[in-house]
Amino acid sequence: MVRVLNDPEPPDKVGELPVDMEFAEPGSERTVRVRYRRGYALEAQILQQKFYYEILDGGRVVDVEQGELLLRYTYRYEMEHLLARAGFRVISLAGDFAGAPYVGYGEQVWVAEAAP
């Protein structure tokens, strides 16, 4: 497996990472602040992202939990080729689930059908 983020993140540096979002913890009066580190292995088309969930109570961090996302991404023409090789015909390609145009990067939402 390709590892993109090989260096361990010291716990005291978590507060310096970018904040992705902040939301109220369901069923609680506490808040969750999500921070992340991200790395890419371009030659393997891999994205690795580590998430740090800071649990805040009264504005003070009381706990930090971690999660990780490791995924392989596909370029547009690679996916078109794979679908064709598998016997599918592309009906449409959108840039998100709301149907926005695909702009050359980011989300790809494909609709395909079995080729006749």
Residue 48 and residue 88 in one domain: no
What pLDDT, on a 0 to 100 scale, did the predictor assign at position 12? 63
Condensed to tens digits (0 to 9), the pLDDT of residues 45-93 reads 998 888 999 999 998 999 999 999 999 999 999 999 999 999 999 999 9
Task: Check: pTM over 0.85? Answer yes or no.
Answer: no
Residue 23 and residue 44 in one domain: yes
What pLDDT, on a 0 to 100 scale, did the predictor assign at position 2? 55
Written as one letter, the residue type at 64 is V
- Residue 2 forms part of a structural domain: no
- Please state the domain count of the chain: 2
Angle (CA) 91-97-103 rounded to 5° is 75
- Residue 1 forms part of a structural domain: no
Find the domain containing 68 and state its range.
11-72
Residues constituting the chain = 116
